[in-house]
A and B are shown apart, each in its own frame.
Chain A
């Protein structure tokens, strides 16, 4: 399954998803009023150390964040120019710490566990007569069909290259959209044939496949 999760053992993997999410929320509130660069630097170093304790795979994921660097550099330079070096450093360190922490939680929590931790938040929807089971089903369906549609994209890209490429790459979106609409019609028919989402047949199949992993 496509996921940022790193399958290994660490102290962060053992913590429950709910606790990690609460911790992230608490830290983000805590960091906002901090005005001393040294304190923020400490938080940033502590976060990086946490990556190190998880292991090499986590440290390597830090590289994946390099796409954000140009934006950070731009914010830093503008802020430096308009309000000075110290506030600019504060701001960038605060953003970096939060992003790194949030990312670390994503790296060390299985999607299933994250899903279980946030499902109770959807409970109020029952008052609106929305079954939370339907949300879980939609998530499963989405994750199941991503590889299917990605294969369609790759086929279309191959065909486009075989025709010699060209500049109108965006036209691939048209067959892609049409194919996904057709696919969604046949999936809906298959679902109806099994008696719909809430039928025991559908639910059994979902659980047998171990939902999404």
Chain B
């Protein structure tokens, strides 16, 4: 008796949705095992990581707060991934979105105005789109890989942010700390409830999740992008433009990442700092795949990823673990998801030999 992989007659729809759950479970088990090997009591570790962050209203608020940028980035990326356009640089578009939105605030924010906040959000969106337009332009003009270009632009964006907060945009009254001035109240996104830091951006993200479902399921543009992803030759046969597909995919994902950036800057951070994201743009790639590129799945995936961020922070404080613990769990999740995805197209059978 030995185990064999046998190709399924058709990809298993059930397994498509079971794979992320299996991956989550395996991530938990393996993660706990590693913590035990580090000498932590498994029950303690689990409690610190996954229960404690959710034990208070404030904790739930934090969960939704961190869910917001992940959800925003994940939704945009998924639209691109479905159409075979691989934007890996959401982190860079997020950073530029933050910079552009903050730029509006720093330039015009000294007097209170009700149009300022919308203008900041729009500037963030446009910034993200412009940053994503670079790989789109290079891909459609020179056939460069959008994967490499968008990834490299992340580091350029971060250096640009560093230059701004160390140089021209540094707060003159900030004791030489590399950061901009603090935003005024009218430059900050309104909170949803007192006592939590979750802001209105979470509602915008939920709305965009619904819109992205409408886009993929109902519109002709969404259908064309899906065909381009599944069968490029069929898209050419039907006359769907590859250029338009690339531009649309990158601009949409750039826009949502830029929005995520300004929502962070004008939300929990409240000023420009040398770092505006703990890797949300990269984690959103995992979120998109764990969520099966489906808006509802991406919502669940970003809640899970957000919990990993919170749990990681708790573990640093209470278990004296390094901050790398969050990245470890993220890596485990992606690793097990890729492994479990094998079962979508194959099944394991035992054969007597």
Instruction: Report whether chain A binds chain B.
Output: no
Give me the interface of B with A, judged by CB distance under 8 Å: none
